């Protein structure tokens, strides 16, 4: 039996590694787009666990899938394969460019696999000197040492000793800069097809097309990090499908499991053969429980009405944010796509995104930020109109309170 005692926020400071600064309240229950804390206070959830809870909290298809699988088998390791993994991989190949899938447990691990595959492919097919990874400033690719080094924020990668080498950071949306820099030494370009953590920055059509052309010209692989944009978030199942540019490798996580940890790297048969037996692996990757949940999530999210619903909800979000801004002008623009939206603060409000997040929390609304100047919204893809209206009413009250 677990001991019955109440844990509070102080316990975090007592026994947890202090790499996070969590809010004071502790959520204990969620249903759809609502969450309740220990005191029974209710919140509207516009954060979705950072673009993870794509079907809201405790959606029946996820609860049914995990219960059913929990009574069959939980874990095998990759010494054997398993039915949920095979079904999920098949689904992912049906709904994307990919022929082959590697399962991991997180976005960083999916990216780690993508980068290792790119390096291995270039070394096998061309030369070990073809090792340069190009990525973009403000980009985010996870916290393992390789992925955080490829990410474009030195604040995250500095201070841990020597970094993995041959990584170059260029400016996002600067095609000329990329064209001038790229060479036969370039192994791969890794990018988010819409920068999330970096402030909700979309690629220009010219840039995204140009990156693909430059990769082809220099025999470099194009890796799309769709950890945040994937699984319906932008209104397409994967964001690349709305951009008319197909990557060679795609990483996916966050919404893939709808709240259960899972990540995956998707690629073609031609590339996949370079990760032959023993070259890469994961104990938990492809775990039956994780794959059973993700299978239920993907089956739901790929329904045309769910994807169309994301575009409808984007409209509702944009209209409501504009209405708030008409009364209390704090935003310069609302950017992003689908339900990966960022309200960028205007000149007078620079640096105050966190103030809005805190005020929203006090009004019973969970939002996110992306840097100091962007309030970010990544709610459930199936959030109801009534929940959006209620959340926006709370956001308006929060902004009214600090507006002066």
Ligand X SMILES: *Cc1c(COP(=O)(O)O)cnc(C)c1O
From 107-115, 125-133, 200-208, 274-282, span contacting ligand X (CB under 6 A): 107-115
Instruction: Give the whole-angstrom CA distance, residue 63 versus residue 296.
Output: 9
CB-side exposure of 306: number of CA atoms within 13 Å?
A: 17
Q: Which is nearer to ligand X, 69 or 252 (CB)?
A: 252
Q: In this chain, which of 35, 65, 92, 108 binds ligand X, going by CB under 6 A? A: 108
Instruction: Give the whole-angstrom CA distance, residue 298 versus residue 393.
Output: 31
Query: How are strands ordered across the β-sheet holding 132-136?
Result: 100-104, 263-267, 249-252, 221-225, 186-191, 132-136, 167-170
38 is in an annotated binding site: no
First to last CA, the chain: 53
197 part of the interface to ligand X, by CB under 6 A: yes
379 part of the interface to ligand X, by CB under 6 A: no
Length of the chain as a residue count: 404
247 part of the interface to ligand X, by CB under 6 A: no
198 part of the interface to ligand X, by CB under 6 A: no
Residues 261-300 touching ligand X, rule: CB under 6 A, are none
228 is in an annotated binding site: yes
Strand partners, 195: 201
Site string for ligand X, 124-163 (x = CB under 6 A): ----------------xxx---------------------
252 part of the interface to ligand X, by CB under 6 A: no
34 part of the interface to ligand X, by CB under 6 A: no
Query: Nearest distance from residue 95's CB to ligand X, in Å?
Result: 19
Q: How far is CA 95 from the centre of its chain?
A: 18
196 part of the interface to ligand X, by CB under 6 A: yes
371 part of the interface to ligand X, by CB under 6 A: no
- DSSP letters, 96-163, are SS-SEEEEESSHHHHHHHHHHHHHHHHHHHT-TT--EEEEETT----SSHHHHHHSS-HHHHTTSSSP
188 is in an annotated binding site: no
Query: Nearest distance from residue 128's CB to ligand X, in Å?
Result: 27
From 26-34, 220-228, 239-247, 365-373, span contacting ligand X (CB under 6 A): 220-228
Q: Is 80 exposed, middle or buried (0-12, 13-18, 19+ CB in 10 A)?
A: exposed
Q: Which is nearer to ligand X, 106 or 138 (CB)?
A: 106
Instruction: Give the whole-angstrom CA distance, residue 134 versus residue 145.
Output: 16
Query: Nearest distance from residue 293's CB to ligand X, in Å?
Result: 15
User: Which positions ≥6 away from 286 have C-beta within 8 Å?
Assistant: 78, 81, 82, 85, 103
145 is in an annotated binding site: no
- SS3 of 332, please? strand
Query: Nearest distance from residue 100's CB to ligand X, in Å?
Result: 20
Instruction: Using the Cα atoms of residue 146, residue 265, residue 281 and residue 216 in order, give the sign of their dihedral.
Output: negative
107 part of the interface to ligand X, by CB under 6 A: yes
Residues binding ligand X: number (CB under 6 A): 15
394 part of the interface to ligand X, by CB under 6 A: no
Q: In this chain, which of 45, 112, 132, 192 binds ligand X, going by CB under 6 A? A: 192
Query: Nearest distance from residue 192's CB to ligand X, in Å?
Result: 5
Q: Which is nearer to ligand X, 142 or 391 (CB)?
A: 142
Q: How far is CA 10 from the centre of its chain?
A: 29
Which residues are at the interface with ligand X (CB under 6 A)? 106-108, 111, 140-142, 192, 196-197, 225, 227-228, 253-254
């Amino acid at each position: 039996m677990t001991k019955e005692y109440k844990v509070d926020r102080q316990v975090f400071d007592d026994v947890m590694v202090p790499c996070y600064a969590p809010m004071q309240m502790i959520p204990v229950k969620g249903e759809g787009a609502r969450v309740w804390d220990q005191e029974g206070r209710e919140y509207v959830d516009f954060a979705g666990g950072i673009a993870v809870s794509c079907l809201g909290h405790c959606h029946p298809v996820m609860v049914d899938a995990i219960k059913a699988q929990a009574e069959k088998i939980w874990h095998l390791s990759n010494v054997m394969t398993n039915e949920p993994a095979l079904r999920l991989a098949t689904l992912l190949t049906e709904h994307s460019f990919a022929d082959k899938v590697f399962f991991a447990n997180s976005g960083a691990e999916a990216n780690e696999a993508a980068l290792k595959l790119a390096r291995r492919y270039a070394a096998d097919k061309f030369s070990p000197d073809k090792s340069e990874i190009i990525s973009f400033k403000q980009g985010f690719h996870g916290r393992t040492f390789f992925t955080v080094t490829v990410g474009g924020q030195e604040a995250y990668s500095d201070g841990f000793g020597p970094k993995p080498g041959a990584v170059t950071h260029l400016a996002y949306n600067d095609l000329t800069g990329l064209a001038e820099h790229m060479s036969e030494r370039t192994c791969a370009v890794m990018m988010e097809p819409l920068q999330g953590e970096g402030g909700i920055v979309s690629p220009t059509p010219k840039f995204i097309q140009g990156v693909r052309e430059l990769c082809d010209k220099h025999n470099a692989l194009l890796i799309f990090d769709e950890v945040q944009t994937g699984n319906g978030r932008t209104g397409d199942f994967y964001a690349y499908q709305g951009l008319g540019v197909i990557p060679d490798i795609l990483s996916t996580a966050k919404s893939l499991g709808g709240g259960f940890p899972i990540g995956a790297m998707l690629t073609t048969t031609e590339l996949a053969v370079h990760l032959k037996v023993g070259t890469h692996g994961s104990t938990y990757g492809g775990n039956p429980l994780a794959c059973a949940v993700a299978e239920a999530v993907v089956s739901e999210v790929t329904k045309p009405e769910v994807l169309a619903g994301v575009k409808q909800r984007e409209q509702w979000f944009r209209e409501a944010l504009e209405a708030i801004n008409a009364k209390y002008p704090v935003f310069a623009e609302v950017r992003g796509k689908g339900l990966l939206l960022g309200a960028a603060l205007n000149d007078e409000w620079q640096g105050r995104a966190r103030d809005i997040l805190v005020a929203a929390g006090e009004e019973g609304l969970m939002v996110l930020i992306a840097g100091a100047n962007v309030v970010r919204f990544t709610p459930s893809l199936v959030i109801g109109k009534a929940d959006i209206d209620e959340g926006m009413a709370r956001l308006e009250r929060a902004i009214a309170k600090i507006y002066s």
